[in-house]
Chain A
Amino acid sequence: MPRHLSKIEKLAASLGLVPKARDLPVPERLGDGRLSHYPPFEKWENWEELDARRLPHRYSLIPTTCFNCEAGCGLLAYVDRDSGEIEKIEGNPLHPGSRGRNCAKGPATLNQLRDPERILTPMKRVGPRGTGKFEPCGWDEALEAIANRIRCAFDEGRGEEVMYHVGRPGHEAFMERLLSAWGIDGHNSHTTVCSASARCGYQLAWGYDRPSPDYENAQLILLISSHLEAGHYFNPHAQRIIDAKNRGARIVVLDPRLSNTASRADLWLSTRPGTEAAVLLATIRVLLLAGAVDRTFVENWVDWRGYLQSVHCEASPDLDTFLRLLAEDLAEYTPEYAAQLAGISPDQVRQLAREIERAGPRVAAHVWRAAASGNEGGWQVARAMCLLTALVGAVGAPGGTSPSAWNKFKPEFWTKTEGPKNWNELIWPKEYPLSFYEMSHILPHLVLDGRGKIDVYFTRVINPVWTFPDGFTWMEMLRDESRVGLYVALTPTWNETAYFADFVLPMGHSAERHDIQSQETHAGRWVSFRQPVKRARAALAGEEATDTRSFNPGEVWEEDEFWIDLTWRIDPDGKRGIRRHYESPYRPGKKVTVDEYYRWIFENGVPGLPEKAKEAGLEPLEYMRRVGAFELERGKYRLHEQKVEIPEGSRVRVEAAGGLVTLDGKVVGVAVDGAIRHGFPTPSRKIEVVSKTLAEWGFPGEALPRYSPSHVGPEVIDPEKGIYTLVPTFRLPTMIHSRSGNAKHLNEISHANPVWMHPDDADRHSLADGDLLKVETSIGHSINRVRVTDGVRPGVVACSHHMGRWRLEGGIGSQWSSATVRIEPIEGGRMRLRIIEPSGPFDSADPDTRRGWWKESGVHQNLTFPPQSDPISGMHCWHQLVRVSPAGPGDQYGDVVVDMEKSREVHRAWLAKARPPAGDLRRPEWLPRPLRPQPEAYRIDQQRAPDSP
């Protein structure tokens, strides 16, 4: 818009004394003057827009998927048609999960792409392992070295010594298929430091390992989680929770800490950590006594017969008896008892019950990490939550809580892989037959115990040295070349674990790599396509595009092409039977390209997509390139009621008591309401109140829902003596584990992790806001600052899971978020990590790196946590019993001191609680495994464990 200029200025401008006003071209304006969220789809190919300096740009808008948290939100990259660079990143409005919106981490992707400290070439270790010194090497050199080693291991029958450890999955089925094709049980993950407990509880109850709450249509949203700031699928869930809230839904949150979510709740129960199950059971009891249960749903879909059989075999088998007896069995869980345990008021428990009763089946409930992950026996919280939703008929109902699998898409492939024949005891130790899933957090202990060695170890976007408990033991394992032969870190950014690698191989961020992702964000099923946007643009423009490296900065690659290439090098002539799975489905015998890989999936493995693409006049692959996501279906509820199609002429057997239907000896469904229905994938095909599996696998005492005291519960804390529960797991909306540390704008907002402490507790120790305090765990201590706040309950201290990143003295690393530290042994055989130079301004191509104004970048508290494996779920129970005191004279901010020997002791103590299988099966066959081996691998006698004690 032209400015009005004064006469003097016009005169001065005509005399050349001042510059003339700029006259810049303005692109055509959209629409009728109303502002629109996004450019219309038909203009994405060639969209003209001004930048913030009002210079016009021609963009191609290419969709991809965010790579920060697990939600898989849609992104839209603005690729400048003239410079070819990605100029900005917004949300993809056509993505069904995120609907065009993002959290702070979405736009911060641009920071990550432009991080001046990115790893741009493959790096090879220089000097001893773990000194953090590297030199660039070529891809061929790295690939050849890795392939030779793996080929050698395969040929010598040591396939189990090849391990792939993944942090961020969502690379739907790619790696399961790859490892399956390789024939090795080498898939390791992060679930035991994340969600094992919740998965276990849900699985035991309804046979699915996670929920998919229909927040959008809920009347009551019951959260033992913080979905308005983190959680599983933060942005997609937060937007739906807030939509529901503004339509009148109520939010109830259980959390000892005032999370952002709790601050938006209608009812916040600031419960003592470890007592959540008692509160839920008391709520169940109140509902039972009030008769506020969905009788039809319970009659049909809750395995009450099984309950009566196991617990009250003499009782008459009818629903009323069940409801009465269940209430009686829960008699001790009065609101008063639960409230006293949890440190809340009994009225709050009753209010929770009233809220549930009022919402009827529209109860969307979620526990994911939080209480489940923090406490020993935390899986009971998830099971109680699942039962609660079942009793009110919310399971599978609109506005209720569905199982995740109903809303998640799984791709299919052109060849079938069989699955490994062996069982990897380093990943699935036999002490934990019920673990969910891979026991990754005790890997270094198992290796140091001599249970096996790793010949080739891959990590992909995982940073166990930092993110997992007991990082010093990880370092010890990784330093030892006799235990870990070749360590290859696949990562977009530097991290603490990668410092110990032999090869650090740079992989692209969200806009630089292929994969597909599907998450159960709502009552719908979608698949989204992550793609290197510059390559996609070239492909759409009809240019030749065969190698993602030629479109990424430096020599940054992507995993898809890397693994395909590596597989061909491992099995160059196809004699090992591996290569055939990575031959093109379109050009027999040729190496499959990434385009062909996804083309096949989109053409053959996504129902409805080819038709939708045809409507748009596009091939399925091109459709996904342009749109970025596809919703397979929406609003599917009560899938457990779906009828099973029985092949004509076959004879099924229906079991009289439970109604189980078998066909040729295999359970295919359950007879309910006059038809054979799918039901739930539990042994009884119904939601199980009592778990026979637990009883049979060594835990009869836990078979029934109950409150079992946590290792950090109210029974063991004593604030007067400085003994508190430490909640060390809460997440911030701005960060994701250690992977967002290179995003400058996120770091600017969140860069420290002070310890939250209630004012009364702080008074007790004469700690004022910002004072240094010492937090002692059973194996060591850390020195941090205190944040005195009413946002945490007395007796509990809390510290965010982010921050406290470090790099080694003289080593390489990301300086945005990390301090330079020295790691050295000190007296008493302990290890100490001490900051010798805080994070701060540094020189780089980006002038912003000189402007970091914060000095303290957090404390690496995870180092001071010993592995505490729940004997059932295998979960590392994160909460710690700590002693808190003001810091001493020699203590410095960021100090971490750990006695590794004690850590070994704690591990052994928890290991002793576990119960190896009594029979000849390693694991109940109905429990899932991400990479499922062939049935014979489940038999213990089938494979001789070389180092079994």
Chain B
Amino acid sequence: MTRHRTPNYGFIIDNRRCIGCHACTVACKTEHGDPIGINKTWVQYIEKGTWPEVTRAFHVMRCNHCANAPCVEICPTASLETRADGIVDFDPGRCIGCKACMQACPYDAITLNPDSGTATKCNYCAHRVDVGREPACVVVCPTEAIITGDLDDPQSRIARLMATEQTMVRRPEKGTEPKLAYIEGHRDAPRTARRATGRAHPLGGTNDRRGRPGGRPRRRARLREARRLGRGALAWGDERRAGRRQWRGARALERHRQPRTDLPLRPGAHL
């Protein structure tokens, strides 16, 4: 019952497990009684590639609970606050509705609640954490794709995953030090997806409709591809400036990293 140490909470979203079912969104909304139009967590579907070399990526988006949170810094009344346990919490009772936090967040994770005129965002279900329970989205997730816990507790599942899996964060160049890390986030990032499989970028026009090299995709197909890439393209960050793809915690734990041998490599065929 006694705690010797303050935890440092974070999220991992494991894209090897996410099936895009939206359970997290609905569990969040019912837990918080949020109105239509407010989504503290949401799932984005992005289709990439050309048939049959096509896949659909699911991006679960939400507050990144940054260690260096710009929303906390800009909030004039401290209604946003980084708690000692790392949760970036929000107190609607202090909010004046200036919307500055919405401008400060590089992840578009903050919205305005039309009922109260105050900002709102994922607060890691702090009210549940305070009685020792995981956030609603974690409990509901059918495939356990959302992992929570104490990043500083080496025994926790999240710390073990951080130590053993390649993770990435969104927009690392912003220096916000997000504590929401993605496993296989890069596979789904539009800009890197093709590169990861060693294929030419669809916009490069070097592969034909079936993904065979040599042809040029049709003009409309290219435009559609461009539009699709446009959607969500900023969500993951600016590669040219991204100094580090990984959260620093993961790097600190890197010496414990064990190469996984039990998993066959996923074939490139489906990117």
Contacts and interface: CB of A to CB of B under 8 A. Distances in A.
A847 B35 contact: yes
Contact of B127 (A28, A35, A36, A54): A54
Interface string A845-865: 001100111000000000000
A266 B23 contact: no
A170 interface: no
Contact of A104 (B23, B83, B89, B93): B23
Given A37-B134, A749-B25, A793 B51 contact: yes
Given A26-B130, A108-B30, A34 B149 contact: yes
Interface residues of B, number: 76
B39 to A, nearest CB: 8
Nearest to A850: B36
B143 A106 contact: no
A248 B263 CA distance: 5
Given A31-B132, A790-B51, A265 B270 contact: yes
Contacts of B149: 34-35
Interface string A25-40: 0111111111111110
Interface string B115-127: 1000000000101
A258 B54 CA distance: 8
A258 B47 contact: yes
A50 B36 contact: no
Contact of A794 (B22, B51, B85, B263): B51
Contact of A734 (B22, B140, B269): B22
A37 B156 CA distance: 14
A344 B1 CA distance: 60
Contacts of B37: 748, 851, 853
A235 B262 CA distance: 26
Given A35-B149, A734-B22, A239 B144 contact: yes
A228 B19 contact: yes
Contacts of A267: 267, 269-270
Given A49-B131, A103-B142, A258-B55, A733 B19 contact: yes
Contact of B23 (A103, A748, A851): A103
Nearest to A50: B127
A263 B56 CA distance: 5
Given A33-B150, A91-B139, A104 B51 contact: no
A794 to B, nearest CB: 7
A733 B22 contact: yes
Nearest to B24: A104
Given A1-B84, A37-B134, A107-B140, A759 B127 contact: no
Interface in A164-194: none
B235 interface: no
B21 A111 contact: no
B97 to A, nearest CB: 16
Interface in A440-492: none
B129 interface: yes
Given A247-B262, A248-B263, A258-B54, A34 B156 contact: yes
Interface stretch (B103-111, B193-201, B218-226): B218-226
A33 B153 CA distance: 10
Contact of B26 (A22, A35, A108, A234): A108
Interface string B231-268: 00000000000000000000000000000001110110
Contacts of A30: 131-133
Given A103-B21, A745-B26, A847-B35, A759 B224 contact: yes
Interface string A229-246: 100001100110011011
A248 B262 contact: yes
Name the 8 nearest CB pairs between A and B, nearest first: A30-B132, A263-B56, A50-B127, A851-B36, A733-B21, A242-B143, A104-B26, A790-B51
Interface of B: 1, 3, 7, 16-17, 19-23, 25-27, 29-33, 35-37, 47, 49-52, 54-58, 78, 81, 83-85, 89, 91, 93, 114-115, 125, 127-134, 136, 138-145, 148-150, 153, 156, 209, 218, 220-221, 224, 262-264, 266-267, 269-270
Interface of A: 1, 3, 6, 19, 22, 26-39, 48-54, 88-91, 98, 100-108, 110-111, 228-229, 234-235, 238-239, 242-243, 245-248, 250, 258, 260-261, 263-268, 270, 344, 733-734, 744-746, 748-749, 758-760, 763, 769, 788-794, 847-848, 851-853
15 contacts: A3-B78, A37-B139, A104-B21, A104-B26, A107-B31, A229-B19, A260-B20, A260-B21, A266-B267, A270-B51, A748-B36, A758-B51, A848-B36, A851-B36, A852-B36
